[in-house]
A and B are shown apart, each in its own frame.
Chain A
Amino acid sequence: MSYFSDIYNGIKTLLTGMRVTGGYFLNARKGTLTQQYPDNRETLKMFDRFRGEVVMPHDENNEHQCTGCQKCEIACPNGSIEIIWDRAIVEETGKKKKKIDQHIYHLSMCTMCGLCIEACPTDAIVWAQNFENSVYDRTQLTKVLNQPGSKVKDGIED
């Protein structure tokens, strides 16, 4: 008799499974999970903490907040950040002060761990939310974060 009850139970479980998928089939129009990615570029918005790439915000006077303290460079586990710095004489005080020449960021080596941004004492570098970072040439992934001719904002001290 267990022969027949096996058949009965087997068919029952199969039909239960088919009911689950069948239910989704009928509601397929409503509940699609996938995104039409390149089409929804305008509406696609990443969360504001999303780690896309490291950028250095500049204000309207072309001033950034990086003092060249190199804490980010030390914090980075895989050498994605290199800072080329210089010393310049500040006119008012006449003292020599550290300033950055180039803040170089290798996106190709970055693991998006966020340690540099944690380490930065002046919030000079932040995460950007862009994610379309692919390029045809690897050298394009090495970026200079400070814009040419920019200088450090007044009053930022480390």
Chain B
Amino acid sequence: MSKDQIIKSNFKTEEYFINMGPQHPATHGVLRLILTIDGEIIRNIEPDLGYIHRSIEKMCERDSYQQIVHLTDRMDYLSSHINNEAVCLVVEKGLEIEVPERVKVIRTIIAELTRIASHCLWWGVMGMDVGALTTYFYAFRDREMINDIFEETCGARLTMNYNIPGGLMFDIHPNFVKRVKDFITHFKTKIPEYDRLLTGNVIFQKRTKGIGILTKEDAISFGASGPVARASGVSCDIRKIHSYSAYDQVNFNEVLFTEGDSLSRYKVRIQELWESLSIIEQLIDNIPEGDIKVQTKAVIKLPKGEFYQRVETARGELGVYVNSTGTKNPYRLKFRSPGFSNLSVLNKIAKGYKIGDLVAIMSTIDIVVPDIDR
């Protein structure tokens, strides 16, 4: 008899269920995980969704195209600008209008700032999930600077609704360029500090290295995207492969790791902070002059047909599919949200690990529950 069999024959153990969530600090909102546990070891995870379903897709069928934009703020609220951009891009594609260069550059800068803000929040919460509470405050200090930039230019900190189909709602604030530059110089000193505080820490390394391995094949077959897939070596950066806005004007690297464990998912995001900073640096000094919007008709009617646009949010690939019958509302609108497919890998990668690992894996997947439920 093997060791396992001897243990099995001598001890009678029972698996039991435990509800993680919908109110649980580690599920980042109202996600409910039904865990089957054997002692500390997780045997099965069943995510139970729908606690924050607001039927945004159905609401979009009722709204005009300008009104759809503000609903996407409330999906993945941490990359709200990028969601807005996706809807605006699909409408612009349908109307076949080309937005001015200035709009493209400003959209790209703000999208990258949004990505940094999102990754900052993720870093803070990641630290908190593995037990280092102080990271949260250091990350929020830096995120606050970005939020101030947003507030000054867009008027809101989180649900910005700065994009409209055809361009931007209003021009950037005169202080925008200076503030962004200040932020870049500030943040360049802070990322190494993040590394010293958490990345290098021996306990953190032990908690994440080799835990929750997602293979390249699984990443592709589950449809994972964003940092989760890139940590497994899947090249899936929409900014590179289907360049939109001003991403074709800048040089940046797609961060790829091959290990696919929690630590490489973590490192992808830390590296992406550097890449985002370099994108902003390339664009901030030469924002072209010009109009900030193309005047569209007050009632936008998309031509009959289907339109699809993909963008890279902080969490991965967001796709917007619009089926139009030529009226002022879309006939059907579907969001392919990154969080949903990324969450689906959870059962595959977290099985057999302990509860503490599950928490760490969940935060490296970086779920935003409203994005999953919509």
Contacts and interface: CB of A to CB of B under 8 A. Distances in A.
CB-CB nearest 4 A-B residue pairs? A113-B70, A77-B67, A10-B202, A49-B155
Given A50-B151, A113-B70, A21 B200 contact: no
A20 B193 contact: yes
Contacts of B153: 49
A85 interface: no
A118 interface: yes
B202 A114 contact: no
B222 interface: no
Interface string A5-29: 0000110011011011100100000
A145 to B, nearest CB: 19
Contacts of A118: 164, 169
B194 to A, nearest CB: 9
A75 B170 CA distance: 17
Contacts of B152: 47, 49
Nearest to A19: B196
Interface in B43-78: 63, 66-67, 69-71, 73
B169 to A, nearest CB: 6
Interface residues of B, number: 36
Contact of B200 (A17, A49, A114, A119): A17
A14 B71 CA distance: 45
A21 to B, nearest CB: 6
B197 A17 contact: yes
A115 interface: yes
Interface of B: 63, 66-67, 69-71, 73, 134, 137-138, 140-141, 144, 148, 151-156, 159, 161, 164, 169-170, 173, 193, 196-198, 200-203, 205, 298
B173 A115 contact: no
Given A9-B202, A33-B140, A114-B161, A49 B70 contact: no
24 contacts: A16-B196, A20-B193, A20-B196, A33-B141, A47-B148, A49-B151, A49-B152, A49-B155, A49-B170, A50-B156, A51-B156, A75-B66, A75-B67, A77-B67, A77-B70, A113-B67, A113-B69, A113-B70, A113-B73, A114-B169, A115-B66, A115-B67, A118-B164, A127-B155
Given A17-B196, A49-B155, 9 more contacts: A13-B200, A16-B200, A24-B138, A49-B152, A50-B155, A75-B66, A77-B70, A111-B70, A119-B298
A19 B201 CA distance: 12
A12 to B, nearest CB: 8
A9 B154 CA distance: 47
A89 interface: no
A10 B155 CA distance: 46
